[in-house]
């Protein structure tokens, strides 16, 4: 485990606020050790920093009450969705109250004519898509986990579909937010576009609970395409695969998904899901459109792939075969873990201009060798975003330190290529030094916004901004 | 002319700063009356409020110098692109210095592999597209005027392609901005997506020069589609046309453009461009894709249109015929002006959820009758955004007052329908009261950001936020 920074605790304030919350929320206020630890960080190598209490509101008004109580007593408020964030976002380095949105999980409205819906933050992406299926609609953003929409909004998440459908920033129309003083605001109306003042919606998307707590989300939806076809194609090298991706994007093929697996990843997926894929770098793709359109896209991609040495190109519109392929991709994380039982999986998240992707992946591979680490690479390559999953024995201090070096050096390489240390996981606790490296003076203006909105720094302290 | 609010002037500061700027910039510093008036507002009914001087920087460093001088002496700085904004954005209600970006008009880089480019703010959208044409790339955002990219960014502009390609918020990757203290920041790296901290890029897009002056813009580009086809179809009523639009969007047809002209607009366009269109509500569309795909989209739309009473449906992929149609659309403003020579054209800009569009247009038409005004309606209906162009004799005080009533009532109707007072023109001076009506408490957080970044309120004062 990597030590996380601890911040000074306001013991008096915490004691007082906990007393008031306990009286007000009864059974929906919990302080048991195990429930608190479940609400601290668990999915990464960052140590668990549990909150002092967990409260389960049922409404925006209750969230406002909680925040008002915490504001008066200057007690940290840490929003919690389902806890699948990867950079320590739900940890409580100064203690405080975790606000678990799990009981605010209602789909409040689906406006099928307008292709939008309004949901509470505890709704998960799978729950939403199950609800939408009968209406011929879907919500495209799909991070690996079955994350909550609130959490996805707060971390500006994306996933495999971002190349076509964008990230959360592109798919949130409006938000209801409880601000650090307990005031409830709406950031925008439900119209599809607006030039009305500063874009508070986009400011809140990706703010990781540090500027306010999101209590309602209006999302864009997509009509389910008439046809979907999936394809995969093997390449002689990661570079050749990246070249094919660039040509595909430039050609204007509106690929819905285009994912790269390196050789080690293909081996892991083969072993886990028994797919029998050729064990060389692989692109997995999906095309959405009309029946003729999706077929044409697949065929055109096939031609491009062959130009770059692609072999074994196959595509299918058969739903069962498609699902088998994408299930394997979504189970990738578990497949990688099985390649080194007992090791922890630690995912990097750099994103670079596509033209630099092959170079950046090559650098990652060199560093893995140099630092004698086991790492598998998978990428949302249409966006230039890739994850190295390091498989680390966290009991081995030297290996853990080498893994930390890897993360640090890869982030530096990506930043030097005009890229970012995080394409979709967010800054949290773990990436704060890299944010400063990446954006330098701009981070002072982020801090100025934080201070203007939350002068007592009660909203998820110790995240995004360096102390 | 409608009176614009005047703000207190800092005479001493202005005199001192002008002296310093004159010495520093020589011929690139101008104070002649006509040049100053050209830099105040001219394209709307809002009165002209000229700045005290106009300066023409050549570089970001010079912009920083100008802003530092103005910051020390607390003198307003008003960014100026080509002056096509519609809500008083370039007026100088407290005097000060207009910073004309016309001599910062270089295309700094085109990264065709990454489908992005880096431009200075004075580059116009037509200049950019002319430059890109040979590379098989284009930049899709097309407001009516040949606006500058800097101005389009600052007002969060869009145009006819937004239904497919989004607005400026979706197409700006990163910005270089000179902040109100003269500091130069970059809001993001060039990677396609990022979760690195607060989204300062989106905060600056649409901030109308009130938070800083944009000096460099990294834009997403699109590959020129293999095929484009255009179509038009007449409908028995605006409502029928709107129903067809909703069905088209829901069906998932990725229309690139879908524009509505009401009967009066069709008559104006017929008279101006001699098109011979049936004089009933008309939809004009464009489809982008592969040859087969674009044809299939057009055919599918044709079927949908017929279900809603559409007649005279025609489509073409012939470039000359397509250009003739879209040229007519882009010249729409001039066509409307010709229907009442001598009158001023005043465009409203409401945007509502698509399901409310037909109702909102109907309300606009009723109000035109009630208030005895001449107005033509054209809409980016895929987004729910439409413009009523009022043709007003500004010398007639009573008519002008009725036009003001119309604007006010239409904004209220749109807001009551969960819509916005501005889909793409921005708030400027003209719409400040409606911003407060629309977003209420959220505007206080906009003001908090403004104060945090620009405590002396030197950046484009009197715009967006109410005093």
* pLDDT digits 0-9 by tens, A415-465: 999 999 999 999 999 899 999 999 999 999 999 999 999 999 999 999 999
pLDDT at A292: 82
* pLDDT digits 0-9 by tens, B39-71: 997 677 789 999 999 999 999 999 999 999 999
Q: What is the pTM of this model?
A: 0.97
pLDDT at A414: 98
Residues B206 and B285 in one domain: no
- Residue A1 pLDDT > 80, yes or no? no
The domain tally of chain B equals 3
Asked if residue B22 belongs to a domain, the reply is: no
Helix boundaries (H) for A75-161 = 125-132, 149-155
Chain B residues in contact with A245 by the CB 8 A cut-off are none
Interface of A with B in 371-390 (CB under 8 A): 383-385
* Shortest CA distance from B154: residue in chain A: A195
Residues A194 and A176 in one domain: yes
Strand-pair category, B227-234 with B137-138 = unpaired
Residues A111 and A219 in one domain: yes
Cα–Cα distances (Å) from B295 to B86, B140, B290, in that order, read 37, 21, 8
Confidence of residue B316 (pLDDT cuts 50, 70, 90): confident
DSSP string, B419-448: -BS-SSS--TTTTHHHHHHHHTTHHHHHHH
- Residue A323 pLDDT > 90, yes or no? no
Chain A residues in contact with B205 by the CB 8 A cut-off are 199
Find the length of chain B. Answer: 467
Chain B residues in contact with A112 by the CB 8 A cut-off are 250
Distance CA A192, CA B167 (A): 10
Distance CA A333, CA A330 (A): 7
pLDDT at A417: 98
Asked if residue A355 belongs to a domain, the reply is: yes
pLDDT at B1: 61
Residue at token pair 């006509």: B34
Distance CA B317, CA A410 (A): 48
Half-sphere exposure of B349 (CA within 13 A, CB side): 28
- In terms of Cβ atoms closer than 10 Å to its own Cβ (0-12, 13-18, 19+), residue B316 is middle
Distance from CA of B128 to the nearest CA of A (A): 18
Q: Which of B170, B423, B449 sits opposite A198 (nearest CB)?
A: B449
Confidence of residue B331 (pLDDT cuts 50, 70, 90): confident
Residues B257 and B294 in one domain: yes
Asked if residue A121 belongs to a domain, the reply is: yes
Quote the mean pLDDT of chain B: 94
Helix boundaries (H) for A94-167 = 125-132, 149-155, 162-165
Interface of A with B in 334-363 (CB under 8 A): 349, 351-355
Does residue A373 sit in helix, strand or coil?
A: coil
Rounded mean pLDDT, A73-101: 96
CATH code where residue A274 lies: 3.30.70.2190
Does residue A21 sit in helix, strand or coil?
A: helix
Cα–Cα distances (Å) from B464 to A210, A262, A315, B4, B7, in that order, read 25, 50, 52, 13, 14
Rounded mean pLDDT, B311-319: 88
Residues A200 and A281 in one domain: no
Confidence of residue A254 (pLDDT cuts 50, 70, 90): confident
**Domain boundary residue among B278, B308, B334?**
B334
Phi, then psi, of A189 in degrees rounded to 5:
-85, -175
Cα–Cα distances (Å) from B307 to B248, B311, B315, B358, in that order, read 11, 10, 17, 17
Residues A325 and A257 in one domain: yes
pLDDT at A375: 96
| Number of Cβ pairs < 8 A linking chain A and chain B | 293
CATH code where residue A347 lies: 3.30.70.2740
Q: Which of B113, B158, B199 sits opposite A355 (nearest CB)?
A: B113
Confidence of residue A334 (pLDDT cuts 50, 70, 90): confident
Does the beta-carbon distance from B197 to A439 stay under 8 Å? yes
Interface of B with A in 144-203 (CB under 8 A): 155-158, 162, 166-167, 169-170, 179, 183-200, 202-203
- Residue A166 pLDDT > 70, yes or no? yes
- Residue B226 pLDDT > 90, yes or no? no
Query: 10 Å Cβ neighbour count for B363?
Result: 19
Q: Are B3 and B428 in contact (CB under 8 A)?
A: no
* pLDDT digits 0-9 by tens, B185-200: 999 999 999 999 999 9
Strand-pair category, B77-80 with B97-100 = parallel
> Looking at B41-45, B357-361, B423-427, B447-451, which range is the least confident one?
B41-45
* pLDDT digits 0-9 by tens, B237-278: 999 999 999 899 888 888 999 999 999 999 999 999 888 899
State whether ipTM is beyond 0.90.
Answer: yes
Rounded mean pLDDT, B269-294: 90
CATH code where residue A186 lies: 3.30.465.10
**Domain boundary residue among A334, A354, A388?**
A334
Does residue B56 sit in helix, strand or coil?
A: coil
Tell me the percentage of chain B whose pLDDT exceeds 70.
99
pLDDT at B431: 94
Rounded mean pLDDT, B417-431: 96
Distance CA A397, CA A407 (A): 15
* pLDDT digits 0-9 by tens, A280-318: 999 999 999 888 888 888 999 999 999 999 999 988 888
Q: Are B216 and B119 in contact (CB under 8 A)?
A: yes
Residues A279 and A382 in one domain: no
Q: Does B421 touch chain A (CB under 8 A)?
A: yes
Residues B323 and B356 in one domain: no
Asked if residue A288 belongs to a domain, the reply is: yes
Asked if residue B95 belongs to a domain, the reply is: no
Quote the mean pLDDT of chain A: 94
- In terms of Cβ atoms closer than 10 Å to its own Cβ (0-12, 13-18, 19+), residue A452 is middle
Chain B residues in contact with A195 by the CB 8 A cut-off are 155-157, 206, 349, 420, 422-427
Cα–Cα distances (Å) from A407 to A42, A422, B285, in that order, read 19, 11, 49
**Domain boundary residue among A193, A223, A253?**
A223
Does residue A114 sit in helix, strand or coil?
A: coil
Running DSSP on this structure, what letter comes out for residue B135? G
Rounded mean pLDDT, B415-424: 98
- Residue B290 pLDDT > 90, yes or no? no
Residues B281 and B297 in one domain: yes
Residues A189 and A293 in one domain: no
Domain that holds residue A395: 340-425
- Residue B230 pLDDT > 80, yes or no? yes
Residues B305 and B345 in one domain: no
Asked if residue A451 belongs to a domain, the reply is: no
Asked if residue A253 belongs to a domain, the reply is: yes
Confidence of residue B291 (pLDDT cuts 50, 70, 90): confident
Residues A418 and A353 in one domain: yes
Q: Are A91 and A429 in contact (CB under 8 A)?
A: yes
Q: Does A251 touch chain B (CB under 8 A)?
A: yes
* pLDDT digits 0-9 by tens, A105-148: 999 999 999 999 999 999 999 999 999 999 999 999 999 889 99
Asked if residue A458 belongs to a domain, the reply is: no
Q: Which of B354, B422, B441 sits opposite A185 (nearest CB)?
A: B441
Running DSSP on this structure, what letter comes out for residue B166? -
Query: 10 Å Cβ neighbour count for A307?
Result: 11
* pLDDT digits 0-9 by tens, A257-288: 999 999 999 999 999 988 889 999 999 999 99
Q: Which of A194, A250, A445 sits opposite B351 (nearest CB)?
A: A194
């Amino acid at each position: 485990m990597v030590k996380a920074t601890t911040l000074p605790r306001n013991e008096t304030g915490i004691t007082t606020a906990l007393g008031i919350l306990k009286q007000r929320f009864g059974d929906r206020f919990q302080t048991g050790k195990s429930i608190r630890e479940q609400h601290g960080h668990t999915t990464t190598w960052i140590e668990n920093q549990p909150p002092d209490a967990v409260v389960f509101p049922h409404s925006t008004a209750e969230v406002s009450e909680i925040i008002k109580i915490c504001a008066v007593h200057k007690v940290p408020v840490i929003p919690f969705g389902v806890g699948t964030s990867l950079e320590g976002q739900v940890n409580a380095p100064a203690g405080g109250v975790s606000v678990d949105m799990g009981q605010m999980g209602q789909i409040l409205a689906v406006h099928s004519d307008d292709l939008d819906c309004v949901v509470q933050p505890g709704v998960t992406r799978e729950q939403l898509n199950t609800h939408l299926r009968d209406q011929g609609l879907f919500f495209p953003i799909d991070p690996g986990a079955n994350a909550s929409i609130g959490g996805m909004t707060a971390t500006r998440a994306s996933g495999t579909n971002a190349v076509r459908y964008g990230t959360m920033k592109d798919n949130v129309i409006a938000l209801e937010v409880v601000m650090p003083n307990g005031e409830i605001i709406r950031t925008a109306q439900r119209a599809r576009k607006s030039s009305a003042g500063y874009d508070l919606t986009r400011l809140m998307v990706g703010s990781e609970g540090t500027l306010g707590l999101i209590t309602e989300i209006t999302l864009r939806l997509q009509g389910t395409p008439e046809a979907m076809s999936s394809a995969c194609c093997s390449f002689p090298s990661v570079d050749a695969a990246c070249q094919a991706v660039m040509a595909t994007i430039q050609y204007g093929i509106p690929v819905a998904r285009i994912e790269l697996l390196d050789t080690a990843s293909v081996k892991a997926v083969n072993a886990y899901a028994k797919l029998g894929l050729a064990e060389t770098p692989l692109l997995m793709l999906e095309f959405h459109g009309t029946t003729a359109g999706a077929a044409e896209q697949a065929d055109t991609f096939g031609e491009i792939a062959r130009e770059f040495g692609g072999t074994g190109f196959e595509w299918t519109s058969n739903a069962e075969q498609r699902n088998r392929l994408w299930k394997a991709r979504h189970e990738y994380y578990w497949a990688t873990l099985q390649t080194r039982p007992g090791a922890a999986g630690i995912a990097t998240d750099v994103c670079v201009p596509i033209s630099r992707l092959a170079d950046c992946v090559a650098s990652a591979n060199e560093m893995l060798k140099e630092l004698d680490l086991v790492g598998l690479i998978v990428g949302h390559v249409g966006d230039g975003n890739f994850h190295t999953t390091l498989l680390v024995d966290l009991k081995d201090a030297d290996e853990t330190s080498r893994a930390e070096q890897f993360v640090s050096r890869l982030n530096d390489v990506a930043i030097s290529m005009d890229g970012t240390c995080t394409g979709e996981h967010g800054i949290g606790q773990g990436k704060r030094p890299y944010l400063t490296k990446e954006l330098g003076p701009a981070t002072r203006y982020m801090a100025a916004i934080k201070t203007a909105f939350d002068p007592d720094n009660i909203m998820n302290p110790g995240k995004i901004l360096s102390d």
